[in-house]
Amino acid sequence: MSHKVVIIGGGAAGYFAAINCAQANKHAEVFLFEKSSKVLQKVKVSGGGRCNVTNACFDLKQLSLSYPRGEKQLKSAFARFSPKDTIEWFESRKVKLKTEKDGRMFPVSDDSQTIVDCLEKEAKKCKVKIELGRGVKKIIPNFHGGFELVLDNAEKFHCNKVIIASGGSPKEDGLQWLKELGHRIESPVPSLFTFNIPDKDLLELQGIAVPSARVRILNTKLECNGPVLITHWGLSGPAILKISSLGARILAEKEYDFEVQISWLDNKKEDSVRQELFNLKAANPAKKVGNLFPFTLPKRLNSYLLAKAGIDEDANWGDVSKEMVNLVIQGLLYDTYQVKGKTTFKEEFVTCGGINLDDIDFKNMESKRMKGLHFAGEVLDIDGVTGGFNFQAAWTTGFIAGKAAALVI
């Protein structure tokens, strides 16, 4: 009797689960059902079209800290399939990866199509049957084992095992079909989003990037550092995306209406900055402020912060009052803006929420509520900060689920 496994979802986790399932049991019939007409869409668009495959964080404890949701469970899962395993998997298939300064890893080609082609080639080699336009609307467990899948067109399909890798859903009702199987659902809310700030003066600085700033959400404990980018709608960049992930539920509760504070000098202390400015003022009273500013920030940002403090760039340092210096310090270390809304990118959206992790056995990614039903990827209440961590969770959970579903019980 054939062993049929159906993977629901043609994203990174689904493809990886299908490939590993087929490799683990060469006699199994492995089907991948994708409801749309395209597969691996998020892989194609991620990282600006380069695909941030994983992160060069090889300490598994440290790695797991990059997941606001899923830290505890993924720590043991990464012992089974880690970033090192991801690198080895792709490079053994002639896809070389490179590491950037911040730890993000991309294909040397800088083209996400390289990753897509590798996954599609491997799936074909393993004889995975890719079926597009096949949406599953209901899963019915059979009394004697296995499942009956009811497809969108009312067709029924029988199989022995199911791996659900259908991705994150922006709304809870998108997970209703899984709730009907007895699983608890954590309400989905956006994660990894940028901040909309209706401040005309700030928005005129669009395009400015500061390599290392510190970001705080006032009236919370949320704080992180990293690159910040000023855009035509507000603030973006790795530090903003990271803090949006860490605070996904808190910021949703605030309805994306909150104050964000930026230290453009990252961890520099106020006393140190004050001393530096007053020493500069005392030593160079005849020098123009605009020509002698001690911090390595973009010139347009310097001009903006000086203007906020009421200082003319053509003024001499000797004419700058103590109060003005204090206002400059305020702008450098405590620049505060009112956030009014968020911007997410439809093709790359990441959600906080999904299947409650207590319903999953991470040794095999199997549902504790239904034997033979496995999960992988963002359909779970797992999400990482920006930097390749979400793809790593997809590879890891897909690997474990695929190997487990291949087993004939």
Angstrom distance (rounded) from CA 39 to CA 71:
28
Residue 259: pLDDT band by 50, 70, 90 thresholds?
A: very high
Angstrom distance (rounded) from CA 194 to CA 168:
18
- The answer to whether residues 186 and 335 belong to one domain is no
Q: What residues make up the domain containing 32?
A: 3-190+348-405
- The answer to whether residues 391 and 310 belong to one domain is no
DSSP 348: G
User: What are the pLDDT digits (tens) for 352-380?
Assistant: 999 999 999 999 999 999 999 999 999 99
Interior CA angle at 298 toward 295 and 304, to 5°? Answer: 90
Percent helix, strand, coil in the chain, to 5, is 35, 25, 35
Q: What is the pLDDT of residue 162?
A: 98
What would the mean pLDDT of 388-396 be, rounded to a whole number? Answer: 97
Strand, helix or coil at 97?
strand
Angstrom distance (rounded) from CA 19 to CA 14:
9
**H/E element holding 260?**
strand 257-263
In 267-395, beta strands by DSSP E: 335-340, 342-343, 350-355, 360-361, 366-367, 373-375
- The answer to whether residues 381 and 360 belong to one domain is yes
Last residue within a domain, chosen from 293, 315, 343: 343
- The answer to whether residues 128 and 26 belong to one domain is yes
Q: Are 178 and 136 in contact (CB under 8 A)?
A: no
- The answer to whether residues 61 and 139 belong to one domain is yes
With a pLDDT cut of 70, the percent of the chain lying above it is 99
Tell me the DSSP string of 13-73.
Answer: HHHHHHHHHHHH-TTEEEEEEESSS-S-HHHHHHHHHT---EE----HHHHHTT-TBTHHH
User: What are the pLDDT digits (tens) for 52-69?
Assistant: 999 999 999 999 999 999
What would the mean pLDDT of 293-308 be, rounded to a whole number? Answer: 94
Alpha helices by DSSP H, listed for 233-347, are 238-246, 248-253, 270-283, 299-308, 322-333
Using a 10 angstrom Cβ sphere, with 0-12 exposed, 13-18 middle and 19 or more buried, the burial of residue 248 is buried
User: What are the pLDDT digits (tens) for 313-333?
Assistant: 999 999 999 999 999 999 999
Residue 347: pLDDT band by 50, 70, 90 thresholds?
A: low
Angstrom distance (rounded) from CA 28 to CA 407:
9
Q: What is the pLDDT of residue 174?
A: 81
Which CATH number belongs to the domain containing residue 262 in this structure? 1.10.8
Q: What is the pLDDT of residue 346?
A: 58
* Nearest C-alpha neighbor of 161 from the set 136, 129, 185, 139: 139
Q: What is the pLDDT of residue 194?
A: 95
- The answer to whether residues 41 and 58 belong to one domain is yes
- The answer to whether residues 40 and 176 belong to one domain is yes
- The answer to whether residues 55 and 186 belong to one domain is yes
Angstrom distance (rounded) from CA 28 to CA 1:
10
Average pLDDT, the chain: 95
Last residue within a domain, chosen from 343, 359, 379: 343
- The answer to whether residues 237 and 283 belong to one domain is yes
Alpha helices by DSSP H, listed for 166-260, are 176-179, 200-203, 238-246, 248-253
User: What are the pLDDT digits (tens) for 143-174?
Assistant: 889 999 999 999 999 999 999 999 988 777 78
Which CATH number belongs to the domain containing residue 34 in this structure? 3.50.50.60
Angstrom distance (rounded) from CA 260 to CA 241:
13
Angstrom distance (rounded) from CA 304 to CA 335:
11
Interior CA angle at 219 toward 308 and 268, to 5°? Answer: 50
Last residue within a domain, chosen from 343, 375, 395: 343
What would the mean pLDDT of 23-28 be, rounded to a whole number? Answer: 97
Count CA atoms within 13 Å of residue 386 on its CB side: 26
- The answer to whether residues 140 and 102 belong to one domain is yes
Q: What is the pLDDT of residue 265?
A: 97
What would the mean pLDDT of 295-319 be, rounded to a whole number? Answer: 94
Angstrom distance (rounded) from CA 90 to CA 297:
39
Q: What is the pLDDT of residue 171?
A: 76
If one counts the domains in the chain, the total is 2
What would the mean pLDDT of 86-93 be, rounded to a whole number? Answer: 98
What would the mean pLDDT of 286-290 be, rounded to a whole number? Answer: 93
**pTM for the full model?**
0.89
Interior CA angle at 334 toward 330 and 340, to 5°? Answer: 125
- The answer to whether residues 138 and 203 belong to one domain is no
Q: What is the pLDDT of residue 1?
A: 60
Which has the higher per-residue pLDDT, 348 or 408?
A: 408
- The answer to whether residues 105 and 137 belong to one domain is yes
Q: Are 215 and 240 in contact (CB under 8 A)?
A: yes
User: What are the pLDDT digits (tens) for 100-112?
Assistant: 999 999 999 999 9
User: What are the pLDDT digits (tens) for 180-228?
Assistant: 999 999 999 999 999 999 999 999 999 999 999 999 999 999 999 999 9
* Nearest C-alpha neighbor of 311 from the set 342, 332, 296, 341: 332
Q: Look-up: residue for tokens 């093709």?
A: 347
